[in-house]
Chain A
Amino acid sequence: MSSPFELLIAQHKKAILEQWLMLRLGIFSSQKKSLLMTQTDQFQNPIRHEMEQGLAGILADFENRGAQFSEALDQITRVLAIQDFPPSKATALFYELKEIVRELAKKNDVGFGAKEWKKFNHQIEQLTLTAFDSYVDHREKIYQIKVDESKNRAFMLLKKAGL
């Protein structure tokens, strides 16, 4: 059975997505109306598109962390892992979600018991660690790509040298 938090997320998916997306794009630019936030075309603003798709995927699959969840999270961390942000900033997305949900609960006058909060906090921590794993996967991929590229560039010379 879904937790009350998960039900709350399911009921306000659209509003949460909007707010969450702006928070995530906010780490790219301090401008309130940067092109990254306002341009909605998939191909003319791939950062926004990928983030929106990823966050929507996470929200849609919040109850059941299956394959779709990993793919959606992957979509987000892939964009963030090559940017200038430190890992802590890049992987803080679920803490942002926690704050959004907390505000939402307050606004809608939904009360939760300490036990439920504890469970939700635990869930957010787990998700954050998963995000960290996903981020590190992408960083490792970058280093692997560097090695592969060096080898491929002089492929024939290495082959001639029997390496």
Chain B
Amino acid sequence: MSTNPPKIAELKAEYENAPSLLKGDSSAKEWLDIPVEFRDGNWCHAAKPEVIENLGFNNPRKWSPDDPDWQLEEGWQQIVLAGMKERLGQFRSFKLFMDICVRCGACSDKCHFFLGTGDPKNMPVVRAELLRSVYRHEFTWSGKLLKGLVGARPLTEEVLKEWFMYFHQCTECRRCSVFCPFGIDTAEVTLVGRELLNLAGANINWITKPVSDCSRTGNHLGIEPHTFKSVVESLVEDIEDQTGITVNPTFNRKGAEILFITPSGDVFGDPGIYTMMGYLMLFEHIGLDYTLSTYASEGGNFGYFTSNQTAKKLNAKMYHEAERLGVKWILGGECGHMWRVVHQYMDTMNGPADFMEEPVSPITGTKFRNATSTKMVHIAEFTADLIHQNKLKLDPRRNDHLKTTFHDSCNIARGMGMMEEPRYVLRNVCNSFNEMPEHTIREETFCCGSGSGLNTDEYMDIRMRGGFPRANAVKHVKDKFDVNALVAICAIDRASLPPLMNYWNPGVQVYGLHELVGNALVMDGEEERSEDLREDDMLEIETESPVQEDDA
């Protein structure tokens, strides 16, 4: 980003003279002919050369997306087109999605980026068309012969810049695919689009740096084992300060029954750490035989936002660690895209995990048959089962200072179809739960606007636009029910919704589901609690009122 703000004359010239789909001077032009404009706030920093070298990707160099010359290597078009050809053969879905769209328009107003910007290129149909136009030009007879008449165009540097702009204004949330009569999954188009960008050396640092870190230390922040352990231990101290209970997590313990893996954001970031405290308290309360791994110290997978190979590579550590430690099954924390990878790809990417057993809750005996193949259970279904079997002592009044609503994370709701379990847990740990309007939740949920590796600060303007539809629905329940707590089960949500709320709905704080579980949990031998896990005052509770009893 430039150091100095633009001068007034520059701003005026930029707005008046440069063509854009959003301005009045584009009427005589085809949308394909309108070049993209990179301006502060609408692009992410380019990947640093050392990161690209670490990963062995193409064309490491120092560059910036707002440079006129991107320093692309000689013959980059051939590399990208060969990559496209390879993927058309490899992924039947991609080939199908390039051919079958009839431009019915059902998806056009379903994307949160379109709704927050009004930019026609953010209509999912048009975003996919950015790639389709090149596909037609290179791989179909009609495109080769009729060219522009059938919407075909050659791959140029301008086209590549357009891909860079708009495949980074798609969070792979798949809301549009819910409405497509053909089931076209624009997320998969974006996945391939980003793979092709990587081939051309047009990567962003916010995604590639975590991938590089994760390859080395196992987590996106590049935190080494001793730091990971000491940070978890300081959370243990915080729990002790607040509850008087000492929880005892173990690290890399061979022979534990369960390996627990969660996003590193839960260990290091605010407010994720309070969710982590909730997990640790829950496991102590039920006496779970579990261990944490300092290598599988990241549930998230930014490799998934880069290419299928890097997704596979970063995911592999989960099974490697499970095998090394000899656990029976894996329990996974609150994360979004981690679960899309686990639910839809892990089994075929890195499985079968025959060395583990079908997951069975050691507390309730419930068999998680849905996870028979992957051997990995989502914490929301694990906790929902504990509550359903009456194994937890909970006092939901401890969350009476919170009026909650629930944000369905895209990858959990649409990616793995989990909608009821988190709501069941939430209803049992708090007394005020208020749903957002019908078409903004569950499978039609609006994205936080920062998913798929876009939650970087230089991209704040675009993130605020993309998250606007979600924030608007939260505003509705804030006005109607005085909602002050937005609960989410995704680490990117916990990182990106606080700024979104701070901008659009000041006064609404973001919580993880298990943070509220931790607040409500009545643990044996605990000290009297008057503050929640983030040290905010709870409302005073009348002691004679009954508490839900357990039969454990």
Is the CB–CB distance between B270 and A82 below 8 Å? no
| A146 with B269, Cβ < 8 A, contacts A47-B115, A84-B39, A86-B12 known | no
A interface secondary structure, majority: helix
Is the CB of A83 closer than 8 A to any CB of chain B? yes
**A126 sits at the interface (CB 8 A):** no
Complex interface residues of chain A between 122 and 155 (CB less than 8 A to chain B): 138, 141-142, 145-146, 148-150, 152-155
Are the C-beta atoms of A142 and B468 separated by less than 8 Å? no
A89 interface residue per 8 A CB criterion: yes
Which of B22, B25, B495 has a CB less than 8 Å from the CB of A28?
B22
Of all chain A residues, the one with the shortest Cβ separation from B114 is A35
Whether the pair A30, B24 counts as a contact (CB closer than 8 A) is: yes
* Residues of chain B within 8 A of A78, CB atoms compared: 503-504
Query: A30's closest neighbor in chain B, by CB?
Result: B24
The answer, among A43, A84, A155, for a CB contact under 8 Å with B42, is A84
Beyond A43-B469, A84-B42, is A29–B267 a contact (Cβ under 8 Å)?
A: no
Cβ contacts under 8 Å, A155 to chain B: 268-270, 273
| A46 at interface, CB cutoff 8 A | yes
Q: Which residue of A lies closest to B118 (CB)?
A: A28
Given contacts A84-B42, A142-B461, contact A156 B26 (CB under 8 A): no
C-alpha gap A146/B459 in the complex (Å)? 9
Which chain A residues border B518 with CB–CB below 8 Å?
none
Q: A39-B109, A142-B464 are in contact. Are A152 and B270 (CB under 8 A)?
A: yes
Set A30, A49, A82: member contacting B472, Cβ < 8 A: A49
Interface: A2 (CB within 8 A)? no
Identity of the chain B residue whose Cβ is nearest the Cβ of A47 in the assembled complex = B118
Bound form: Cα–Cα A157–B37 in Å: 37
A42 interface contact, C-beta 8 A = yes
Partner of B469, one of A28, A46, A89, A156: A46
Taking the closest CB of chain B, its distance from the CB of A95, in whole angstroms, is 16
Is A44 an interface residue when CB atoms closer than 8 A count as contact? yes
Query: Which residues of chain B come closer than 8 Å to A47, judged between CB atoms?
Result: 115-116, 118, 468
Using an 8 Å CB-CB cutoff, how does the interface string of A87-107 with B read, 1 for contact, 0 for none? 111000000000000000000
A141 to B503, CA, bound (A): 7
A residues near B268, Cβ cutoff 8 Å: 153-157
Q: Are A156 and B504 touching (Cβ within 8 A)?
A: no
Cross-chain contact B465 with A82 (CB below 8 angstroms): yes
Query: Given known contacts A84-B20, A156-B234, is B269 in contact with A34 (CB within 8 Å)?
Result: no
Residue pair A44, B464 in contact (C-beta under 8 Å): no
Any B CB within 8 A of the CB of A160 = yes
CB-CB under 8 A from B26, the residues of chain A are 30
Contact of B15 among A86, A145, A157 (CB under 8 A): A86
Q: How far is the CA of A131 from the CA of B439 in the complex (A)?
A: 33
Q: Which residues of A contact B27 (CB under 8 A)?
A: 30
Q: Is the CB of B234 within 8 A of A86?
A: no
Bound form: Cα–Cα A43–B457 in Å: 26
- With most chain A CB atoms within 10 A of its CB, the pick from B221, B235, B457, B498 is B457
B85 at the interface (CB under 8 A from A): no
B461 A82 Cβ-Cβ under 8 A:
yes
Question: Do A142 and B503 have beta carbons less than 8 Å apart?
Answer: yes
Query: What residues of A have a CB within 8 angstroms of the CB of B271 in the complex?
Result: 152
Residue of B nearest to A39 (CB): B109
CA distance A84 to B118 in the complex (A): 11
Is A159 at the interface (CB under 8 A from chain B)? Answer: yes
Tell me, yes or no, whether A85 is within 8 Å of chain B by CB: yes
Task: Collect the chain B residues with CB atoms within 8 Å of residue A148's CB.
Answer: 498-499, 502
Q: Complex formed: what's the CA distance from A47 to B22 in Å? A: 14
Residue A19 CB within 8 A of the other chain: no
Interface set, chain B 322-368, CB cutoff 8 A to A: none
Q: Is the CB of B499 within 8 A of A157?
A: no
Flag whether B280 is at the interface (Cβ < 8 A).
Answer: no
Q: Which residue of A lies closest to B223 (CB)?
A: A157
Chain B, residues 220-234, CB within 8 Å of chain A (1/0): the string is: 010100010011001
State A107–B538 Cα separation when bound (angstroms): 61
- The answer to the question of A59 belonging to the interface, with a C-beta cut-off of 8 Å to chain B, is no
**Are the C-beta atoms of B439 and A156 separated by less than 8 Å?**
no
Q: For the complex, what is the distance from the CA of A87 to the CA of B11, rounded to whole Å?
A: 9
Is B473 interfacial (CB-CB < 8 Å)? yes
How far is B461's CA from A82's CA once the two chains are assembled, in angstroms?
A: 5
B39 touches A43 (CB 8 A): no
Report chain A residues within 8 Å CB of B103.
none
Does A50 belong to the interface (CB within 8 Å)? yes
Query: Does A43 contact B12, Cβ atoms closer than 8 Å?
Result: no
The answer, yes or no, to whether B62 is at the interface (CB within 8 Å) is no
In the bound complex, CA of A149 to CA of B500 (Å):
11
B224 → A minimal CB distance (Å): 12
Q: Are B118 and A29 in contact (CB under 8 A)?
A: yes
| Residues of B close to A85: CB separation below 8 A | 15
Inter-chain contacts of B464 with A (CB < 8 A): 82, 142
Is B427 in contact with chain A by the CB < 8 A criterion?
Answer: no
What is the minimal beta-carbon distance from B370 to any residue of chain A, in angstroms?
Answer: 32
- Whether the Cβ atoms of A43 and B473 lie closer than 8 Å is yes
Docked CA distance A84–B464 (Å): 12
* B498 engages A46 (CB within 8 Å): no
Determine whether the beta carbon of B231 is less than 8 Å from that of A157.
yes
B12 & A145 in contact (Cβ 8 Å cutoff): no
- The answer to whether A43 and B502 have CB atoms under 8 Å apart is no
Residues of A within 8 A of B (CB): 28-30, 34-36, 39, 42-47, 49-50, 78-79, 82-89, 138, 141-142, 145-146, 148-150, 152-157, 159-160
What 7 pairs between A and B have smallest CB-CB spacing? A155-B270, A46-B472, A28-B118, A146-B457, A86-B11, A152-B270, A30-B24
Q: Can you add 11 more A-B contacts, CB < 8 Å, to A43-B469, A149-B499, A159-B234? A: A29-B21, A35-B114, A44-B115, A82-B460, A82-B464, A83-B465, A148-B502, A149-B457, A152-B271, A154-B269, A160-B227
9 A–B contacts from the bound complex (CB under 8 Å): A35-B108, A35-B109, A43-B439, A44-B439, A46-B469, A149-B457, A149-B498, A156-B269, A156-B273
